Structure 1
Amino acid sequence: MKHWIAKLAICTILLYNFFCNNSWAIANQLSGKSPQAINSIPGVENLAATSDFGENKQVETQQFQPIVKGIIKQAGLFTTYQEVESGKVYLAIKPEQLNKSYLATITLESGIGESGIYSGLPLADFLFYLRRVKDNLHFVVQNVKFRIKSGEAEQRSLTRSFSDSVLYSVAIDSIEPSTNSLVIDLEELLMQDFSGLAPLLKYYLQAEYHFDKTKSYFGDVQSFLKNVEIDSIYGFSSPEGANLITLPDSRALSLKVHYSFSQLPENNGYIPRIADDRVGYFITAFQDFSPDNIQEPFVRYINRWHLETSDPNAPLSPPKKPIVFWIENAVPPIYRDAIREGVLMWNQAFEKAGFKNAIEVRQMPDDAKWHPADVRYNTIRWFNSLDAGFARGPMRVNPLTGEILDADIIVDANMVRSVQQEYHALIEASSMCQGEGRKQEAGGRRQEGSYDKTNLLPYTPKPLPPYTHLQAISSSEICYGTESTEQVAMGALALSLLQNTKPNSETMKEYVHQYLRSVIAHEVGHTLGLRHNFHGSTMLAPQELNNPEITQTKGLAGSVMDYLPVNIAPQGVPQGEYFPSVVGPYDEWAIAYGYKKLPDAEGEIVTPEAEKSFLEAIALASPQPELSYATDEDIRDINPLANVWDMSSDVLVYSQWQMDNARMMWQRLDEGYLPKGESYSSLRVLFNRVLRYYFRNASLLSQYIGGQSFRRLHVGDDSSWAFVPVSLTQQRQALAKLQEYVFAEDAFSFSPQLLNQLAPSRWQHWGSPILHTRLDYPIHDRILSFQSAILRSLLDSDRINRLRDVELKTSPGQALSLPELFDTLRTGIWTEIFTPEQPKSISSIRRSLQQEHLNILLEMLLQTNDELEDSRTLAWYELRQLQTAIDNKLKEFGEKLDIYTIAHLQFAGDRISKALNSQLLSQSY
């Protein structure tokens, strides 16, 4: 009944003048068109005669007055009508708006605070158009992947070769006579799972959640001249619920989704700019079928803002329209200055491109009437979660040109909370983000103490299933993640243990300020179009990292688009900046490529092609070391300098410094760091944090083995090779450091007092479960899990194949050979049996490591992969060497060794004999 009354009310407003006299003459006077003229509009038919009211019905205006007063009409890009009592919303589309491209941006405005469903996440952005088909209006997502120049004959075939996506067909309720606008019930379009949240919830929460229309409704609806903003609150239900902590009852949840439908800029003078793989920009790519584009079928534009200088003749001038970021009023006031500074850091780079004050920062008023997700505002937003711990800087782009139209940075409060309060309270929360003491769950948490090699890589959420247009969550724009939270908490711990800094001191406040400023600068860089640059951290030598005269002018890193660890000074060196305070040389160069204006050529029309030589001149500087660039797809173990959470041009030195710092922190923990009354469970958390930091730095050393630097060079650049193998000297140094800090007998030495104080948390409630695992600290398992991960990475098939290839890429004797790698590891890990001077017992930690090394060699020997024949034969050789050494050791010193060592060596020798014999038997057949 309410649905019918709402329709009647809207139709009363729209068609009153048309129907009250039952005369086409009056309608013609109001609209200026005859019925024939209305019907002649392509794709538009006159539905008045077939409406629910009927052509001959007389409508008494006064009987609808109470309902008409309850209608809110908003004229704008699309006129909206909202019935106050029922909440129903109608949308009016003018005939000239049919078959025209518009931009849709969809934002998840409220979340559940865990497992990937977070407030402020962008869900999708795409082009769409509305198409009239008989009595229905089709909502069509436009295919922008394939194009051809206008006028080409092949354009006829292109239109039928690839399909757009008709998402919905909505019945046309009526036609507004004065404008001939088509009126649809917005509920038919948006009051369903338009945003694709049901499959998203299933994927992330591992449960079936179904859209519940009875629990769903429209919130705020605003129509402006160039955009329409709509809030939809969606209810979802699941009969069984999910394994969620934050919901009071996981069988039901509500999510708010914000829709922005906006007009694309037209004829605004924006010129798409051609991308270059030497400069890291996000790109808009399409396949061009034009005859003159055969050699390279794809056209790639960088994503950038439309910035124009107010004075084209001046070397430096303000832009006609600056990029304005608004700090959301939900951001705690204590952090707003750091956020403001992080945004404005980029004006330094824009000055090199000719723009003065290209970026502005404003504060969103507490009584603001606009919404942060409004496409007209670029915002920096704050959200809370149980397990997120990340920041993200996505932008909305015109997919036809690459012009950035909107950007909204989101920051999780967990990123700064771990150092803002007392350590023990927040470290426990941070540990939950890291998976400390938690079972493996759908949200991505890991078992306490486990070593996950992927946590050395940039945080990447689980990719979405291949459905609909929702792809934004899996993009590389997501940043930092819980590893950043771990890094900043580790830095705060280092300040406390190494420099005796108190949690609420001015030093700690400055530390948090620097961290948040750098996070915002990184995310703003994304919103300016820039991708990650994981080569940026290598600009300075280790000895320069704590020199403020260098870091505050040139920069702490070549680019703030890297994932930079806390800069912790080594012992005996005064502490410098913890995080960058200025953008780096690469950042300035990249902004110049994207935004510097082509000098006007008199009489020439500026096109993307006309800028090629101008841009090439900028890109030619790429071989300069401080402009080195490596992004997400470049950091898979091959290049030791293209990495995350590393620092300086000599990672061998930097990592040793940090492992030495970690050893000093363990010593301080052993000396009674915790105050009186503190729970020993806090000590366990701190010990684990330092252990992870120690092995994370050790893993950086392992990437030198078989490593090669890679540069995105073009022919003619001032450099000879795209790949340069790591020198033999550096690889040997890396192996020596790994032996000293990871595999050596004295690499780990903890007092019984410290190990007996590593108690687990005994709180058991939501968010803090007690696991059914060992109550005491599993020191052997913990150390072995880390040692094993590094050892197996050194001997995995990818690295072995790379080492074999590098031998062909270098001069004889200049590459680390496989026999040298195998021999170095064998003699270092089994030192006790290769030192014949005296009998030496083997410690329990070393016995575990040796058994793991033996396991790896036996696996290689018994493998059936013909491609790795070299590793099999070398494993056979190493096992023979081990067998001989074990036999000699037992024969010479057997009676002088402890039972642990004798049993360990006899068992290892027996395993080797059986494996070698099985190989001989298999080969005889």
Structure 2
Amino acid sequence: MSKSSIFILIALCLSTSPMFSQNKKKKNVAPTIGAIEQKTAGMDKRSGYFNFYWDEKKGEIWLEIDKLDQEFLYVNSLSAGVGSNDIGLDRGQLGNERVVKFLKIGPKVLLVQPNYSYRAVSDNSEERLSVEEAFAKSVIAGFKVEAEQNDRVLVNLSNFLLRDAHNVIGRLKNTNQGNYKLDKSLSALYMQRTKNFPKNSEFEALLTFTGEPRGGYIRSVTPTASNVTVRQHHSFIELPDDNYKPRKFDPRSGYFGIRYMDYATPISENIVKRFISRHRLEKKDPTAQVSEPVEPIIYYLDRGAPEPIKSALIEGASWWNQAFETIGYKNAFQVKVLPEGADPLDVRYNVIQWVHRSTRGWSYGSSVQDPRTGEIIKGHVSLGSLRVRQDFLIAEGLLAPYETGKAVSQEMQKMALARLRQLSAHEVGHTIGLSHNYISSVHGRASVMDYPHPLVLINDNNQFDLSNAYDDKIGAWDKVAVAYGYQDFADNVDEDKALNKILDEAHTNGLKVISDADARPQGSAHPQSHLWDNGASAVDELNRVMRVRKIALENFSEDNIKEGAPMATLEEVLVPMYMFHRYQVEAAVKVVGGLDYSYALRGDDQLVTKTLSSEEQQKALEALLATLSPENLTIPERILKLIPPRPVGYSRSRETFASRTGLVFDPLSAAEAAADHTLTLLLNSQRATRLVQFHARDSQQPGLGHVIDQLLNTTIKVKQKQGLQAEIQRLTGSLVLDKLIKLATNQSTTYQVRAITFTKLDNLENWMRQQMNKVSGESQKAHLNYGIYTIQNFKKNPENYKNIDTVSPPDGSPIGNGNIHYLNLGCDF
């Protein structure tokens, strides 16, 4: 047989073998991946940015991906929350925003998040690729290709949506509310809020988390605390076009912003690029001095806000149009009621939401923005609904308006609504890009981006005037900030020079911005930037506020509550009056060891740094020590007789003072809370360290030893009072001793701070020993004896000393229910 015949025979044999027959048969079978139309037959198709299909029988959503390797924006949020400020899972809360893209690899589709923190802004593709490959990406989801057709693929999106994207489990655990897990058998896709639009696809899931509740917060807001059901929202959003021009960030401008490293930057320039966050705004007629915008910035108010609150919120938010008019825009900023049926999480709407919680808490302004450029796509404000009630309560405490036989004043409601207008403007300010400006109160309410304390004036008859409690307009600094962020410039104008000119003129007029970290009472040192303060001088305002407080307590009576209310509820009104000075204390204490400064740039002629005069600091110290006097800390006997133990159904809460006397109202605990507040701030370890250093640099500056001596002379060493005032005096003295011991052992401060404090304690022990033979009265001798014992034990075993477990004052900040903060989340009062 020839070789060719052998090959033909082998071929014929193979053709009849089982293996060969199967392979041949496979070639004639249709592909295992069917067409998209076949796979989705009978499903409800929703056309839009990403077409998707609803399989009602299986309760599944199938996503048709026709934009492979195209970037879009993915945002998750919480559409229906938990309702507890302490847990922090609010209705309408925005979550993360990420630029992502679908990438198909074989039978898989991956949802990939590129790394925009590190870039090469270059026309050189190899240079861009080198940076892209140098830093990690994040694959945040993976899918199996269920069908494909042409350049489209179909995946099952259901598991992606039915997951804890908002980290509810982590939040409940971190707030000690219990260990929960997602129960998919009690969860489902929520089609009422699952919609599709040309530029965004919106999905929602109803999720139930089951577990063993451990905290009181979750028990207080859920009907069955072992089953916590919320709704989470997912948005796929088309990214903006390339016509937006980013604007440079300047720390003096008062804006939030984005930053990234650009590795294509010449070595002579800063590799870190910074741009502000802002909405896109352009004039229809760029040549006109005044022009309508191409697209106005429109904010929509929650339809669930009731009157007169709704009108107040619209009016306050509308103030921003004043600033846009100043830079030549007509009707550029508008506020309307959300259209009926519109979804507040729909990216097409900037919204102001009216959010309910079980307790008062923060409001905040957040946003959806393009992480590549800083362009704000959606502003999203959440306002706590209980805020207005807290201001109303403060007004009740000031006015005692319920005198029998007299008409109830309308001033409480007027003040509360005035605060809501300011709050609305403030939170919207965050969502147009602005940060806090806590120095504006020094310049006559120059910005709504400050935290305002109600300005209570005293007339000639020693009566309160609340007509100017809150501002009724946008501030001078706000107009500067809007000009920096939104002013348009002709093509022949040098934008950098024009922007610098805006800020230079503002500084010449005494306007500037000092923001969050510089305003906090613990650790920060700026003498003019504070939260919840008023006036050009923090010290003068503290003295004035103490007078307001004194008059309010003198006038306090049963007329502070409505007829028929339990007398015990007088305590809720007493709390904000007794603690009325708390925020101005926080402001004045920053003058002690304070440092004046600005966000200066080289060459802008702003103040860089300046220590404060010894006279100014001494004045502040005296005002602070006055808040510790027994006269100011003692609640009058006539008020104590008005407050009985709490009746059934009116238990103590976070809005009442702590009590060491059981059910009986405890005036000493109230005094302890107020005194501890001042002392904790005054003897802050960072302040103590500054006092030592500033005194070393300039002997005219008050040192730590001077401050401690003044404190001891006005508390422990001062002549003793009688009765309840004497007991409060001893209480304050014990707190002073405890704070000094704490400072002497604080390892975060310097050796010299500890050395000075230890020496003062040693001297105090000797003084107490001398006083033992001079004082009469068992109570005072016991007080001195225990003080000696405490110092002795501390010196023998400092590591074993346990600080006093002091009572905390009732919740203060937010002063009502109104910022941590910062875009994406500007958290406020």
Query: For the superposition of Structure 1 and Structure 2, which TM-score range results when normalised by the shorter chain?
Result: 0.7 to 0.9
Does the Cα contact within 8 Å between 1:585 and 1:626 map onto a contact in 2?
A: no
The one of 266, 269, 280 equivalent to 1:292 is 266
Instruction: Specify the alignment match of 2:732 in structure 1.
Output: 849
TM-fit CA distance, 1:809: 5.1
The one of 505, 509, 522 equivalent to 2:413 is 509
Q: Does 1:225 align with 2:198?
A: yes
What is the CA deviation profile of residues 269-301 of structure 1, one whole-angstrom value per residue up to 9, with x for unaligned ones? 210011000111111111111141554221011
Letter in 2 for 1:211: L
The one of 338, 341, 346 equivalent to 1:364 is 338
Instruction: Specify the alignment match of 1:782 in structure 2.
Output: 670
Does the Cα contact within 8 Å between 1:674 and 1:683 map onto a contact in 2?
A: yes
Q: Does 1:197 align with 2:168?
A: yes
**1:705/1:917 CA distance change after superposition, 3 Å:** same
TM-fit CA distance, 1:358: 1.0
Alpha-carbon distance in structure 1 between the residues aligned to 2:682 and 2:405: 38
Q: Does 1:876 align with 2:759?
A: yes
Does the Cα contact within 8 Å between 2:689 and 2:753 map onto a contact in 1?
A: no
Alpha-carbon distance in structure 2 between the residues aligned to 1:500 and 1:702: 42
TM-fit CA distance, 1:571: 4.8
**1:134/1:877 CA distance change after superposition, 3 Å:** closer
The one of 493, 496, 501 equivalent to 1:617 is 501
Does the Cα contact within 8 Å between 1:80 and 1:90 map onto a contact in 2?
A: yes
Alpha-carbon distance in structure 1 between the residues aligned to 2:495 and 2:404: 56
The one of 648, 661, 664 equivalent to 2:535 is 648
Q: Does 1:821 align with 2:707?
A: yes
Q: Does 1:245 align with 2:136?
A: no
| 3-state secondary structure, aligned to 1:254 | strand
Letter in 2 for 1:743: L
| 3-state secondary structure, aligned to 2:225 | coil
Q: Does 1:694 align with 2:581?
A: yes
Alpha-carbon distance in structure 2 between the residues aligned to 1:842 and 1:906: 20
Instruction: Specify the alignment match of 1:327 in structure 2.
Output: 301
Letter in 2 for 1:344: S
Alpha-carbon distance in structure 1 between the residues aligned to 2:723 and 2:346: 72
Instruction: Specify the alignment match of 1:564 in structure 2.
Output: 452
**1:49/1:578 CA distance change after superposition, 3 Å:** farther
TM-fit CA distance, 1:495: 3.6
Instruction: Specify the alignment match of 1:106 in structure 2.
Output: 76
Instruction: Specify the alignment match of 1:259 in structure 2.
Output: 234
TM-fit CA distance, 1:611: 2.8
| 3-state secondary structure, aligned to 1:693 | coil
**1:849/1:166 CA distance change after superposition, 3 Å:** same
What is the CA deviation profile of residues 841-877 of structure 1, one whole-angstrom value per residue up to 9, with x for unaligned ones? 9911112222333344455567788933255245425
Instruction: Specify the alignment match of 1:538 in structure 2.
Output: 442
TM-fit CA distance, 1:582: 1.0
Letter in 1 for 2:346: D
Alpha-carbon distance in structure 1 between the residues aligned to 2:724 and 2:170: 58
Instruction: Specify the alignment match of 1:15 in structure 2.
Output: none
Instruction: Specify the alignment match of 1:761 in structure 2.
Output: 646
Alpha-carbon distance in structure 1 between the residues aligned to 2:354 and 2:756: 57
Letter in 1 for 2:454: V
TM-score by length of 2: 0.84
Farther-moved stretch of structure 1 (497-506 vs 744-753): 497-506
Alpha-carbon distance in structure 1 between the residues aligned to 2:175 and 2:784: 48
| 3-state secondary structure, aligned to 2:80 | coil
5 Å matches for 1:200-599?
A: 200-204=171-175, 206-220=177-191, 221-238=194-211, 243=216, 244-267=219-242, 269-292=243-266, 295-366=269-340, 368=341, 370-416=342-388, 418=389, 485=390, 489-496=393-400, 505-540=409-444, 557-572=445-460, 574-599=465-490
| Structure 1 unpaired stretches of 5+ | 1-45, 419-484, 541-556, 603-609, 920-925
Does the Cα contact within 8 Å between 2:586 and 2:681 map onto a contact in 1?
A: no
**1:866/1:73 CA distance change after superposition, 3 Å:** closer
Pairwise CA RMSD: 3.4
Q: Does 1:659 align with 2:580?
A: no
Instruction: Specify the alignment match of 1:141 in structure 2.
Output: 113
Instruction: Specify the alignment match of 2:777 in structure 1.
Output: 898
Alpha-carbon distance in structure 2 between the residues aligned to 1:591 and 1:782: 44
Does the Cα contact within 8 Å between 2:253 and 2:513 map onto a contact in 1?
A: yes
Alpha-carbon distance in structure 2 between the residues aligned to 1:538 and 1:501: 42
Letter in 1 for 2:703: S
**1:674/1:567 CA distance change after superposition, 3 Å:** same
Does the Cα contact within 8 Å between 1:245 and 1:767 map onto a contact in 2?
A: no
Does the Cα contact within 8 Å between 1:102 and 1:128 map onto a contact in 2?
A: yes
**1:362/1:53 CA distance change after superposition, 3 Å:** closer
Does the Cα contact within 8 Å between 1:822 and 1:878 map onto a contact in 2?
A: no
TM-fit CA distance, 1:137: 0.9
Letter in 2 for 1:166: V
TM-fit CA distance, 1:326: 1.3
Instruction: Specify the alignment match of 1:26 in structure 2.
Output: none
TM-fit CA distance, 1:222: 2.1
Alpha-carbon distance in structure 1 between the residues aligned to 2:736 and 2:286: 67
**1:333/1:716 CA distance change after superposition, 3 Å:** same
Alpha-carbon distance in structure 1 between the residues aligned to 2:648 and 2:438: 40
Does the Cα contact within 8 Å between 1:537 and 1:646 map onto a contact in 2?
A: yes
What is the CA deviation profile of residues 438-489 of structure 1, one whole-angstrom value per residue up to 9, with x for unaligned ones? xxxxxxxxxxxxxxxxxxxxxxxxxxxxxxxxxxxxxxxxxxxxxxx4x563
- The total of aligned residue pairs comes to 756
Does the Cα contact within 8 Å between 1:534 and 1:631 map onto a contact in 2?
A: yes
Instruction: Specify the alignment match of 1:465 in structure 2.
Output: none
| Structure 2 unpaired stretches of 5+ | 1-26, 799-829
5 Å matches for 1:790-809?
A: 790-808=678-696
TM-fit CA distance, 1:622: 4.8
**1:287/1:503 CA distance change after superposition, 3 Å:** farther
What is the CA deviation profile of residues 7-59 of structure 1, one whole-angstrom value per residue up to 9, with x for unaligned ones? xxxxxxxxxxxxxxxxxxxxxxxxxxxxxxxxxxxxxxx9x94336699xxx9
Farther-moved stretch of structure 1 (614-623 vs 910-919): 910-919
| 3-state secondary structure, aligned to 1:235 | strand
Farther-moved stretch of structure 1 (319-328 vs 222-231): 222-231
What is the CA deviation profile of residues 699-729 of structure 1, one whole-angstrom value per residue up to 9, with x for unaligned ones? 432222111122101122233x422222221
Alpha-carbon distance in structure 2 between the residues aligned to 1:890 and 1:767: 40
Letter in 2 for 1:529: G
TM-fit CA distance, 1:802: 0.7
The one of 18, 37, 50 equivalent to 2:31 is 50
TM-fit CA distance, 1:672: 5.7
Alpha-carbon distance in structure 1 between the residues aligned to 2:753 and 2:535: 35
Instruction: Specify the alignment match of 1:187 in structure 2.
Output: 158
What is the CA deviation profile of residues 383-428 of structure 1, one whole-angstrom value per residue up to 9, with x for unaligned ones? 2210253322111100111111111212222112x2xxxxxxxxxx
Alpha-carbon distance in structure 1 between the residues aligned to 2:696 and 2:562: 59
Alpha-carbon distance in structure 2 between the residues aligned to 1:911 and 1:73: 77
Alpha-carbon distance in structure 1 between the residues aligned to 2:248 and 2:52: 39
TM-score by length of 1: 0.76
What is the CA deviation profile of residues 521-554 of structure 1, one whole-angstrom value per residue up to 9, with x for unaligned ones? 00110111001111111113xxxxxxxxxxxxxx
Letter in 1 for 2:343: H
Does the Cα contact within 8 Å between 1:393 and 1:523 map onto a contact in 2?
A: yes
**1:623/1:775 CA distance change after superposition, 3 Å:** same
